[in-house]
C-alpha cells in the first residue's frame, strides 16, 4: 500500500487560500508532515532490512558462513560476517593439517593461531562457532599420512588430537563435525587412513571406527554437539540410506551422535520438485531419530553470471531456506564462504563459480534477497 505521506503535499497545497493565515498554517502543516514522514521512512527503512541473522533469530535458526582468518581485517569481509551471520565456521583452520601440522614429539605440534583468531572474532560479535573437522581423509599432514604408523599408534595420535583440539575450544565451539565424508556414494565405508589404511583398529568393521571416535569426542567435551557431516547426502539414495542406517544404529545403541551435517554443494540441476521433495523427506527421517540437522556448506555453483543464471540460483537458494524453516530440526543454514571473492568453487570445479550470496565486490546478489524474503515473509 502506498504511504499516505506521498499524497500529503497535494492535500496541504489544497488548504492554501489567499490570505496570510492560510499560508502560515500550510507552512506549519508542511513542517509537521515532513518531519513525521521522514521518521516514518526511517522506521520503515529499518524494518525493511534486518540482516539475515536478525531475520533468522525468531526462527531459531543460525545463519552461518565458513570463514578464513586471513580476510577478517578486510573491512567489507569483517563487517558483513559480523552483521549478517550468527554462526562462524573455520573453512580450513581447524582441519588436522593446519591446526596440528607437526608431530607430537615437536615442541610446538599445534598451531592454533588461525582458529583462535576466528573464535575470538566470533565471540566479540556474539556469533556461535561450529567446529570443522576432526576425522577426515583430506588435509591431513604428511607427518601422519607418511608416518608409517600402525593402527594402535594411529589411534593414540587421533585420540590425542581430538582431546587437544576439542579441549582447547570446549565451551567455545558448540558443535563439531567429528567425522567428515566417511561414506562413499554407493553407501560403502570409504577406505581411508582412519578406517583401514591402516585405520585406528576397526578395519573391515564398517562404521565401528566412527562410533569409536564419537565416543572419544564425547569424552573430550561432554557439552559439544557431535555431528557426522557429508556431501551428496541430501536426497534419498544409497548414500543417505547408509548414513541413515548408521545414525539409526548409533541412536538405538546410545552412541553419542547429536546431528547430521548436510553439506549441500549443489548446482542448478538440484532445482527440481522431486529433488527438493526428496531432500525434505530425507531431513524428516533423520529428524525422526531425534537428530539436529545442519545445512553446513551450502553453495550453488553456476557456469556463468548471466541474469538468468543468477535468478535461477536465487530461486533455489530461497527454496532451500524455506525447506529448512519448514523442518523444525533444521537449526543451521550455513554457506561455504559468503562472497564469490573467496569461494573454493572456481579452484575445485573447473569453469564454475558465482556460488554465494555476495559477488566478488561484496554486492548482494539476487540470492541474498530470496534467502532474506524466505526468512521475513
342 binding ligand XIL? (CB under 6 A): no
Beta-carbon contacts of 372 under 8 Å, excluding residues fewer than 6 positions away, are 52, 55
92 binding ligand XIL? (CB under 6 A): yes
Return the number of the residue (174 or 344) whose C-beta is nearest ligand XIL.
344
* Binding test (CB under 6 A) with ligand XIL, winner from 110, 112, 270, 344: 344
Within residues 297-336, the interface with ligand XIL by CB under 6 A covers 297
Total number of residues that touch ligand XIL (CB under 6 A): 7
Phi first, then psi, for residue 234 (nearest 5°) are -75, -45
Which residue number has the CB closest to ligand XIL? 344
Task: Yes or no: say if 118 and 67 are a contact pair by the CB < 8 Å rule.
Answer: yes
Q: How many CB atoms lie within 10 A of CB 290?
A: 12
Return the number of the residue (140 or 375) whose C-beta is nearest ligand XIL.
140
Listed residue (91, 88, 113) closest to 100, CA to CA: 113
Query: Active-site residue among 84, 91, 93, 181?
Result: 181
Beta-carbon contacts of 226 under 8 Å, excluding residues fewer than 6 positions away, are 175, 176, 178, 214, 217, 218, 256, 257, 258, 259
Is residue 181 among the annotated active site residues? yes
* Binding test (CB under 6 A) with ligand XIL, winner from 61, 64, 91, 114: 91
Distance CA 117, CA 73 (A): 11
Minimum gap (Å) between residue 349 Cβ and ligand XIL: 11
Distance CA 183, CA 189 (A): 5
Return the number of the residue (263 or 334) whose C-beta is nearest ligand XIL.
263
Distance CA 61, CA 334 (A): 10
Minimum gap (Å) between residue 116 Cβ and ligand XIL: 19
Minimum gap (Å) between residue 144 Cβ and ligand XIL: 17
Minimum gap (Å) between residue 95 Cβ and ligand XIL: 7
Query: Active-site residue among 84, 211, 234, 297?
Result: 297
84 binding ligand XIL? (CB under 6 A): no
**Strands 330-335 vs 225-230: parallel, antiparallel or unpaired:** unpaired
180 binding ligand XIL? (CB under 6 A): yes
339 binding ligand XIL? (CB under 6 A): no
Return the number of the residue (221 or 297) whose C-beta is nearest ligand XIL.
297
Beta-carbon contacts of 209 under 8 Å, excluding residues fewer than 6 positions away, are 194, 195, 199, 200, 201, 202, 203
Continuous segment of H or E residues that includes residue 64: strand 62-67
Distance CA 25, CA 28 (A): 5
Residues that bind ligand XIL (CB under 6 A): 91-92, 180, 231, 263, 297, 344
- Enzyme catalytic residues: 181, 297
Amino acid at each position: 500500500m502506498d504511504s499516505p505521506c506521498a499524497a500529503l503535499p497535494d492535500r496541504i497545497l489544497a488548504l492554501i487560500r489567499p490570505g496570510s493565515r492560510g499560508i502560515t498554517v500550510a507552512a506549519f502543516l508542511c513542517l509537521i508532515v515532513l518531519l513525521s514522514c521522514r521518521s516514518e521512512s526511517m522506521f520503515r527503512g529499518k524494518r525493511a532490512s534486518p540482516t539475515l541473522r536478525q531475520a533468522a533469530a525468531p526462527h531459531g535458526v543460525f545463519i552461518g558462513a565458513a570463514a578464513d582468518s586471513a580476510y577478517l581485517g578486510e573491512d567489507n569481509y569483517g563487517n558483513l560476517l559480523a552483521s549478517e551471520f550468527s554462526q562462524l565456521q573455520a573453512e580450513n583452520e581447524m582441519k588436522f593439517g593446519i591446526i596440528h601440522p607437526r608431530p607430537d614429539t615437536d615442541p610446538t605440534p599445534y598451531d592454533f593461531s588461525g582458529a583462535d583468531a576466528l573464535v575470538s572474532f566470533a565471540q566479540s560479535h556474539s556469533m556461535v562457532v561450529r567446529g570443522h573437522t576432526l576425522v577426515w581423509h583430506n588435509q591431513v599432514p604428511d607427518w601422519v599420512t607418511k608416518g608409517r604408523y600402525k593402527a594402535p599408534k594411529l589411534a593414540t595420535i587421533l585420540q590425542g588430537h581430538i582431546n587437544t583440539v576439542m579441549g582447547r575450544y570446549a565451551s567455545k565451539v558448540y558443535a563439531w563435525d567429528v567425522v567428515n565424508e566417511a561414506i562413499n556414494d554407493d553407501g560403502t565405508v570409504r577406505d581411508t587412513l582412519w578406517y583401514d589404511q591402516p585405520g585406528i583398529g576397526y578395519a573391515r568393521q564398517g562404521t565401528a571406527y566412527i562410533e569409536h571416535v564419537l565416543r572419544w569426542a564425547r569424552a573430550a567435551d561432554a557439552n559439544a554437539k557431535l555431528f557426522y557431516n557429508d556431501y551428496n547426502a541430501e536426497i534419498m539414495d544409497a548414500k543417505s540410506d547408509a548414513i541413515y542406517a548408521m545414525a539409526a544404529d548409533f541412536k538405538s545403541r546410545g552412541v553419542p551422535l547429536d546431528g547430521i551435517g548436510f553439506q549441500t554443494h549443489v548446482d542448478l540441476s538440484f532445482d527440481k520438485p522431486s529433488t527438493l521433495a526428496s531432500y525434505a523427506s530425507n531431513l524428516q527421517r533423520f529428524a525422526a531419530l531425534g537428530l539436529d540437522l545442519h545445512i553446513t556448506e551450502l553453495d550453488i555453483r553456476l557456469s556463468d553470471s548471466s541474469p538468468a543464471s543468477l535468478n535461477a540460483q536465487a530461486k533455489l537458494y530461497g527454496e532451500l531456506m524455506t525447506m529448512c524453516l519448514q523442518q523444525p530440526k533444521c537449526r543451521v543454514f550455513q554457506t561455504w564462504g559468503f562472497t564469490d571473492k573467496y569461494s573454493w568453487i572456481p579452484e575445485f570445479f573447473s569453469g564454475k563459480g558465482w556460488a554465494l550470496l555476495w559477488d566478488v565486490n561484496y554486492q548482494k546478489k539476487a540470492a541474498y534477497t530470496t534467502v532474506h524474503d524466505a526468512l521475513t515473509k
